[in-house]
Amino acid sequence: MIEHFPILVVMVPLTAAYLMPVLGLWRKKLCHPLATASTFISFCISLVLAKSVMTYGMISYHLGGWAPPWGIELVVDYLSAFMCITITFISLLAVVYSKNYVDKELPKGKMTPYYTLLMLLIGGMLGVVVTGDMFNLFVLTEILSVAAYALVAISEKKRSYIASYKYLLLGAIGTSLILLGTGYLYIITGTLNMADLSIRLQPWYGSYVVFAALAFLMVGFGIKTALFPLHTWLPDAHSIAPSPISVILSALVIKVGAYAMIRILFTVFQPEFVTEVIPIASALAWVAAAAILIGSLFAISQTDVKRMLAYSSVAHIGYVMLGIGLATEMSTIGGILHIFNHALAKACLFFCAGAIIYKTGLRNINDLVGLGDKMPITVAAFTLAAISMIGLPPTAGFFSKWYLCIGAFEVGKWIFAIVILLASLLTAVFYFRVINLIYFGEHKQEGQVKVDEVSPSMLIPMVILALGCIIFGIFVGIPLSVVGPAVGLLLGI
């Protein structure tokens, strides 16, 4: 049965999306249990896949029984399994969090469309990370993108429509470039299977067609990843979307784009090609360093708490791509590990921000004075996640930055280590500003909002993620047991 899990992990949420509208017509209250059950099943399947890969090696699934490269192949290796666990774990918490949030924050009649689109989004992300075929990488990227555009606009506010339209326009450009790049690769090789491409492309490494294909794919997925300077859609989309969707967009969707870039650079193409023949990896490292600094500077200037978190994501996707751009074993471990560590912390922060807005209606950072006494668990979770984002030991965020610094020193590019340190100080500035106001700011005598903690369905995901930031820092060997072999396969070491 395990041999069918690569397709089941994708089909469970997609089937739920197919059934959701029918179920919503009959009884809307069952939409949330169906979404929760399907996401939980996918999470369990992801755990089994990871265990199987660690025990028996890579899993290859041939759709319809057609062997690759003619047939469509799904591949689950260490990196795919790592991404599946990350996606399903965060998505499960987002679905649980949505139970009470949707009833209050979304317009009436939007519950069924919300869960339908959410299941499509989750299924699309899982499909991207298990496919071994370039065309299906494009198709599944488009599925998750269309769902994301709609979810940004689902609150039916003017600002959400504008943010969604901006996201749609830039996303459409990215999708077009991805399709062009994929078409160029097919023209020159006659195959779309990633493993087959990696072999057939080698004689054509000097071709301008190959250079153009790589450029199109990098820019296209760079837009999906919101890598600076292609990030302009992100601040509006992530800050205006419903908070559970902000979590998925920031913690997962842009990471799926980063995963696709990793696959193209190190699986479709050879590491030597992207580091020596055409040094796109080195260029990527410098762009990532700029993203880290500029994203952090923009985050400092924000007064809206969700917009601050959105710009922080621009900076932290830079950490991921910096590790990939340096292309050493240590730096790549740091970059891929940061996919998981950032997902834990940023999901927790957006959950906390959503809980504060849900209870108080306050978004301006300067209005959060005194919340430490009124929402102590929420604020404590926010603080722990912020410390992980800064990278203080023993939180999970410290170790991914540590590996990135080691990787920078290994290749003699100490300037990147300085960038990481400087950006961590900038991150401390804007997070400690919020924490200081929440705990130590002067209380206003009038206009105080008397609130308490949110419901358990919203509180429990925050607490789990906050504790995860500590647990996976102390026991960093748990994610490293998957990330380490994944990097070894990617770099061929």
| pLDDT recorded at residue 347 | 93
Q: Report the number of distinct structural domains present in the chain.
A: 1
Q: Indicate whether 81 belongs to any domain.
A: no
- DSSP state at residue 447: S
> Looking at the predicted structure, is the pLDDT value of residue 43 above 70?
yes
Return phi, psi of residue 133, to 5°: -130, 130
Q: Indicate whether 204 belongs to any domain.
A: no
Confidence of residue 154 (pLDDT cuts 50, 70, 90): confident
Query: 229 preceded by cis ω (within 30°)?
Result: yes
Write the CA distances from 348 to 196, 213, 414, integer angstroms.
40, 37, 32
Q: Are 392 and 326 in contact (CB under 8 A)?
A: no
For residue range 365-419, list pLDDT tens digits in order. Answer: 888 887 877 888 899 999 999 999 998 888 898 999 999 999 988 888 889 999 9
| pLDDT recorded at residue 337 | 93
Q: Which two tokens stand for residue 249?
A: 């967009």
Q: Are 193 and 185 in contact (CB under 8 A)?
A: no
Q: Give residue for tokens 């370039």.
A: 134
Write the CA distances from 465 to 248, 341, 468, integer angstroms.
14, 10, 5
Query: What long-range pairs does 297-303 form, CB within 8 A, spacing at least 24?
Result: 297/426, 298/235, 299/426, 299/427, 299/430, 300/426, 300/429, 300/430, 302/365, 302/430, 303/364, 303/365, 303/366
| pLDDT recorded at residue 260 | 93
| pLDDT recorded at residue 352 | 92
| pLDDT recorded at residue 448 | 53
Confidence of residue 39 (pLDDT cuts 50, 70, 90): very high
Pure H helices in 229-375 = 234-240, 243-248, 254-263, 271-272, 280-300, 305-326, 329-360, 371-374
Q: Indicate whether 322 belongs to any domain.
A: yes
Domain with 333 in it: 279-493
**Mean pLDDT along residues 434-441:** 83
488: left (phi over 0), alpha (psi -120 to 50) or beta: alpha
Confidence of residue 272 (pLDDT cuts 50, 70, 90): confident
Q: Indicate whether 358 belongs to any domain.
A: yes
Q: Give residue for tokens 């960038």.
A: 419
Within 14-113, strands assigned E span 59-62, 73-76
Mean pLDDT of the chain: 88
| pLDDT recorded at residue 421 | 92
Q: Which two tokens stand for residue 137?
A: 């990488």
Q: Is 212 helix (H, G, I), strand (E, B) or coil?
A: helix
CB atoms within 10 A of CB 208: 9
121 contacts: CB under 8 Å, gap ≥ 6: 144, 147, 148, 151, 248, 253
Task: Give bridge partners of residue 75 from the DSSP assignment.
Answer: 60
Q: Indicate whether 471 belongs to any domain.
A: yes
> Looking at the predicted structure, is the pLDDT value of residue 237 above 70?
yes
Return phi, psi of residue 60, to 5°: -115, 125
**Mean pLDDT along residues 145-160:** 87
> Looking at the predicted structure, is the pLDDT value of residue 264 above 60?
yes
More confidently predicted of 69 and 343: 343
Distance CA 137, CA 194 (A): 10
The amino acid present at 228, given as its one-letter code, is F
CB atoms within 10 A of CB 304: 15
CB atoms within 10 A of CB 229: 11
Q: Pick the closest to residue 233 from 143, 314, 305, 312 (CA basis).
A: 314
Q: Indicate whether 455 belongs to any domain.
A: yes
Q: Are 228 and 314 in contact (CB under 8 A)?
A: yes
Q: Give residue for tokens 């690759």.
A: 68
| pLDDT recorded at residue 67 | 77
Within 266-313, strands assigned E span none
**Mean pLDDT along residues 177-186:** 93
| pLDDT recorded at residue 153 | 87
> Looking at the predicted structure, is the pLDDT value of residue 265 above 50?
yes
**Mean pLDDT along residues 24-50:** 90
Q: Are 319 and 420 in contact (CB under 8 A)?
A: yes
**Mean pLDDT along residues 338-367:** 89
Q: Is 364 helix (H, G, I), strand (E, B) or coil?
A: strand
Q: Are 437 and 379 in contact (CB under 8 A)?
A: no
Q: Which two tokens stand for residue 16?
A: 């739920």
Reported residue count of the chain is: 493
> Looking at the predicted structure, is the pLDDT value of residue 86 above 50?
yes
22 contacts: CB under 8 Å, gap ≥ 6: none
Q: Which two tokens stand for residue 250?
A: 């920031």
> Looking at the predicted structure, is the pLDDT value of residue 334 above 80?
yes
Percent of the chain scoring above 90 in pLDDT: 48
- DSSP state at residue 475: T
Count of alpha carbons within 13 angstroms of residue 73, beta-carbon side: 20
| pLDDT recorded at residue 388 | 92
> Looking at the predicted structure, is the pLDDT value of residue 442 above 70?
no
**Mean pLDDT along residues 329-354:** 92
> Looking at the predicted structure, is the pLDDT value of residue 292 above 60?
yes
| pLDDT recorded at residue 444 | 53
| pLDDT recorded at residue 445 | 47
Task: Give bridge partners of residue 74 from the DSSP assignment.
Answer: 61, 131
| pLDDT recorded at residue 351 | 92
Q: Indicate whether 289 belongs to any domain.
A: yes
pTM across the whole model: 0.92
**Mean pLDDT along residues 270-286:** 85
Write the CA distances from 363 to 323, 343, 398, 475, integer angstroms.
33, 22, 28, 35
Q: Indicate whether 285 belongs to any domain.
A: yes
